Amino acid sequence: MFDFGIKDLVDVLIFACLLYYIYKMMKESGSINIFYGVLAVIVLWVLTSEIFNMRLIGTILDKFMAIGLVIIVILFQDSIKRFLVELGSKRRWKFLGKMFHHDSQNIDNDRLAWVMPIVYACMSMAKSKTGALIVIEQSIPLSQYAATGDIIDARINTRLIENIFFKNSPLHDGAMIVSHNRIEAAGCILPVSHSSDVPRSLGLRHRSALGIAQATDAVAIVVSEETGNISFAHRGKLDSPISTSDLEKRLNAIAITSVV
pLDDT of 260 over the 60 cut: no
Contact 183, 156 (CB under 8 A): yes
- Region for residue 236 given its phi and psi (left: phi exceeds 0; alpha: psi -120 to 50; beta: otherwise): left
Task: Look at the alpha carbons of 259, 182, 113, 118 in this order and tell me if their dihedral is positive or negative.
Answer: negative
Strand, helix or coil for residue 133:
strand
> What's phi and psi for 232, nearest 5 deg?
-135, 125
Kind and range of the H or E run holding 132: strand 132-136
pLDDT score of 85 more than 80 = no
Are the CB atoms for 208 and 175 separated by under 8 Å?
Answer: yes
Least confident of 11-20, 95-104, 191-200, 221-230: 95-104
Instruction: Name the most confidently modeled range: 37-46, 76-85, 123-132, 235-244.
Output: 123-132
DSSP 180: T
Residue 214: its pLDDT value, please? 85
- Please give the single-letter amino acid code of residue 134: I
Write down the domain spans for the chain: 6-99, 113-257
pLDDT, tens only, 154-170? 999 999 999 999 988 88
Residue 41 has pLDDT above 60, yes or no: yes
Q: Which pLDDT does position 102 carry in this prediction?
A: 47
What pLDDT score was predicted for residue 95? Answer: 46
Separation between Cα atoms, residue 181 and residue 204, nearest integer Å: 26
Write down the pLDDT at residue 31: 62
Residue of 229, 185, 188, 227 whose CA lies nearest to 208: 188
pTM of the predicted model as reported, rounded to 2 decimal places: 0.68
Please give the Cα distance from 27 to 7 (Å, whole number). Answer: 30
65, 68, 69, 71 alpha-carbon torsion, rounded to 10°:
170
Q: Could you tell me if 190 and 175 are in contact, meaning their C-beta atoms sit under 8 angstroms apart?
A: yes
Q: What is the mean pLDDT of the chain?
A: 81
pLDDT digits (tens, 9 = 90+) for 55-71: 777 777 777 777 777 77
Amino acid identity of 149? G
Cβ atoms of 240 and 207 closer than 8 Å: no
What is the pLDDT at residue 77?
66
Strand partners, 134: 176, 221
Residues 27-49: what's their mean pLDDT? 73
Cβ-contact 23, 35 below 8 angstroms: yes
Homologous superfamily in CATH for domain 113-257: DNA integrity scanning protein, DisA, N-terminal domain (3.40.1700.10)
Q: What is the pLDDT of residues 112-122, one digit of tens each?
A: 788 999 999 99
Calculate mean pLDDT across residues 13-41: 74
Per residue in 209-255, pLDDT (tens digit) is 999 998 888 999 999 999 999 999 998 889 989 999 999 999 998 88
Q: 29: closest CA among 251, 179, 194, 177?
A: 194
Query: Mean pLDDT, to the nearest integer, of 128-149?
Result: 92
Which carries the bigger pLDDT value, residue 259 or residue 162? 162
